[in-house]
């Protein structure tokens, strides 16, 4: 995360701790969570254009893993 965000350990840790709270217990991310991440990336200057959920949300692997684990 430090490399990707080009930040020090403290900032990367804070970023991780804020993002991990967006996930549900089953590993899914509510639509609101995705939108918060996109907004944060815009705020940090990592994204300069509008991004639709369909560009970043692919739940196929999550759903497969959930089926294999008997979660859903």
Over residues 22-71, the pLDDT tens digits come to 788 888 888 887 888 888 888 888 888 888 888 888 889 888 998 999 98
pLDDT of 5:
66
pLDDT of 15:
79
Q: What angle do CA 54, 59, 63 make, to 5 degrees?
A: 160
The three-state secondary structure class of 19 is: helix
Asked if residue 14 lies in contact with residue 24, where contact means CB atoms within 8 angstroms, the answer is no
pTM: 0.50
Contacts of 51-58 spanning 24+ positions with Cβ under 8 A: 57/29
Give the whole-angstrom CA distance, residue 69 versus residue 72.
Answer: 8
């Amino acid at each position: 995360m430090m490399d990707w965000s080009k930040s020090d350990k403290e900032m990367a840790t804070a970023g991780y701790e804020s993002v991990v709270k967006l996930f549900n217990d089953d590993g899914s991310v509510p639509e609101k969570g995705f939108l918060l991440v996109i907004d944060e990336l815009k705020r940090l200057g990592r994204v300069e254009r509008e991004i639709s959920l369909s560009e970043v949300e692919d739940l196929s692997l999550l759903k497969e893993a959930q089926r294999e684990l008997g979660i859903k």
